[in-house]
Amino acid sequence: MQQEQQAGTASRVVLSELAETLIGNEIVKMNGEIKELMSKGEKIFNFTIGDFDPAIFNIPKELEEEIIYSYRKHFTNYPLGEGDTELRKSVSAFIQDREGLKYNLDEILIAAGGRPLIYTLFRAIVDKGDKVIYSVPSWNNNHYVHFTGGEHCPIETTAETNFMPTADMIEPHLKGAVLLSLCSPLNPTGTVFTREQLEEICDLVIRENESRPEGEKKLYVMFDQIYWQLTYGSTVHYNPVSIRPELKPYVIFIDGISKCFAATGVRVGWSLGPAIVISKMKAILSHVGAWSPLPEQKATAKYLMQKGSVDQYMKIFRAELQERKHKIYEGFMKLKEEGFPVDAIPPQAAIYLSVQLDLKGKKTSDGEILEKQSDVTSYILNKAKLGLVPFPIFGALSGSSWYRLSVGNCKKEEINEMLGKLKEALKKLS
Q: What residues make up the domain containing 154?
A: 61-306
Q: Kindly state the DSSP code that residue 24 receives in the 8-state scheme.
A: P
Asked if the structure places residue 9 within a domain, the reply is no
- pLDDT for position 39: 82
Are both 264 and 165 inside the same structural domain?
yes
User: Whose CA is closest to 65, among 296, 368, 314?
Assistant: 296
How many domains is the chain partitioned into structurally?
2
Q: Using 50, 70 and 90 to split pLDDT, how confident is the model at 24?
A: confident
Are both 238 and 158 inside the same structural domain?
yes
| CA trace torsion 260, 345, 159, 371 (10° rounding) | -110
Asked if the structure places residue 368 within a domain, the reply is yes
Are both 25 and 50 inside the same structural domain?
yes
Of 253, 283, 306, the residue that ends a domain is: 306
Report strand pairing: 251-256 vs 220-224: parallel
Are both 318 and 396 inside the same structural domain?
yes
Are both 416 and 389 inside the same structural domain?
yes
- pLDDT for position 398: 80
Q: Using 50, 70 and 90 to split pLDDT, how confident is the model at 34?
A: confident
Of 243, 275, 306, the residue that ends a domain is: 306
Q: Using 50, 70 and 90 to split pLDDT, how confident is the model at 2?
A: low
Asked if the structure places residue 140 within a domain, the reply is yes
Q: Does residue 212 have a pLDDT over 70?
A: yes
Q: Calculate mean pLDDT across residues 309-317.
A: 98
Q: What is the pLDDT of residues 370-391, one digit of tens each?
A: 999 999 999 999 999 999 999 9
Are both 150 and 270 inside the same structural domain?
yes
Asked if the structure places residue 2 within a domain, the reply is no
Q: Does residue 22 have a pLDDT over 90?
A: no
Using DSSP's 3-state secondary structure scheme, residue 299 falls into helix
Are both 333 and 256 inside the same structural domain?
no
Go through the chain and tell me how many residues it has. Answer: 430
Q: Does residue 268 have a pLDDT over 80?
A: yes
Asked if the structure places residue 7 within a domain, the reply is no
Q: Calculate mean pLDDT across residues 278-282.
A: 98
Kindly report each contact of residues 201-206 with a partner whose C-beta sits within 8 Å and lies 24 or more positions away, as own/partner: 201/165, 201/166, 201/167, 201/170, 201/240, 202/240, 202/243, 202/244, 202/247, 203/167, 203/244, 204/167, 204/170, 204/171, 204/174, 205/174, 205/180, 205/240, 205/247, 205/250, 206/244, 206/246, 206/247
pTM across the whole model: 0.94
Are both 270 and 339 inside the same structural domain?
no
Q: Does residue 4 have a pLDDT over 80?
A: no
Q: What is the pLDDT of residues 93-150, one digit of tens each?
A: 999 999 999 999 999 999 999 999 999 999 999 999 999 999 999 999 999 999 999 9
Asked if the structure places residue 10 within a domain, the reply is no
- pLDDT for position 320: 97
Asked if the structure places residue 34 within a domain, the reply is yes
Query: Residues of the chain with pLDDT > 70: what percent?
Result: 97
Are both 205 and 74 inside the same structural domain?
yes
Lowest mean pLDDT segment, chosen from 84-93, 149-158, 327-336, 365-374: 365-374
Asked if the structure places residue 80 within a domain, the reply is yes
Q: Does residue 273 have a pLDDT over 60?
A: yes
Report strand pairing: 269-272 vs 251-256: antiparallel
Of 306, 328, 362, the residue that ends a domain is: 306
Q: What is the pLDDT of residues 72-89, one digit of tens each?
A: 999 999 999 999 999 999
Are both 171 and 219 inside the same structural domain?
yes
Are both 235 and 325 inside the same structural domain?
no
Are both 102 and 27 inside the same structural domain?
no
Q: Kindly state the DSSP code that residue 45 receives in the 8-state scheme.
A: E
- For residue 297, the domain's CATH number is 3.40.640.10
- For residue 389, the domain's CATH number is 3.90.1150.10
- pLDDT for position 35: 81
Q: Does residue 7 have a pLDDT over 90?
A: no
